Amino acid sequence: MNFKVTFKVNDKLYLRDPEGSELGKQIIKSGIDLIYEVGFENFTFKKLAKLVNTTEASIYRYFENKHRLLLYILNWYWTYLEFNVMFELQNIKDPKAKLKFIIQLLTSDLPPHPEYLNYNCKYLNHIVIAEGSKTYFVKEVERINKEEVFKPYKDLCDQIAEIIMAYNPTYKYPKSLSTTLIETAHDQQYFAKYLPKLTDVVPQNKYRFAAKFLDDLLFKVLD
């Protein structure tokens, strides 16, 4: 059975809803592909316009600047990840099993092209790891935060914090631990790939290193 999943992205991130037109959808899809290929620093609307076969002016009708486009992409990603957590955990009762699943989700590539999605989730995952901090390590973060742009990320952290409390109700810092879990997952995957001497990764555990490290860290803290 084929079905399509759509997510509502914060409308303060765009000037015109990209989901409302074929060009808008192509801007997001190709934007993900291009940021993955060249990195956010080298990404420009001029390059994106050439890839989409449109004009820079057309892209500016959807997004004020490339930072807003990146925020849109990550907002969509966190909403998608939260959906995955809710969907997959509904049949899991044991809090420890839930936390182990979340670790696997945070340290694995999402399916690259699910039939019901338009975007390359493997590329999205890479962008979140490599570029995600650039959405909030900016001077205007307080203004952006007032627009509730980070709500999907916060909602995911709240979900993880609730599971942490179910596992260990006496633990004092569930939200801090949940954000640490997510950010550490990103950092360790990035370092293991590009700066391995900042980690304890070895060839034998290269692909599961981050998951094993987080599992060790999380349950030693909670137990």
pLDDT at 116 (0 to 100): 55
pLDDT in tens, 33-47: 999 999 999 999 999
- Min mean pLDDT across 1-10, 66-75, 102-111, 147-156 is at 1-10
**217 CB contacts (<8 Å, ≥6 apart)?**
184
C-alpha angle 14-41-54 in degrees, rounded to nearest 5 = 50
Q: Give the chain's domains with CATH numbers.
A: 11-222 (1.10.357.10)
HSE, side-chain direction, 13 A CA sphere, residue 97: 7
Cα 127 to Cα 76, 108, 171, 183: the distances in Å are 12, 13, 32, 13
pLDDT in tens, 117-138: 678 888 999 999 999 999 998 9
* Its pTM surpasses 0.85: yes
Q: Mean of the per-residue pLDDT values for the chain?
A: 91
**What is the rounded distance in angstroms from the CA atom of residue 178 to the CA atom of residue 156?**
9
For residue 152, pLDDT over 70 is answered with yes
**Secondary structure, 3-state, the chain:** CCCCCCCCCCHHHCCCCHHHCHHHHHHHHHHHHHHHHHCCCCCCHHHHHHHHCCCHHHHHCCCCCHHHHHHHHHHHHHHHHHHHHHHHHCCCCCHHHHHHHHHHHHCCCCCCCCCCCCCCHHHHHHHHHHHHHHHCCCCCHHHHHHCCCCHHHHHHHHHHHHHHHHHCCCCCCHHHHHHHHHHHHHHHHHHHHHCHHHCCCCHHHCCCHHHHHHHHHHHHHHC
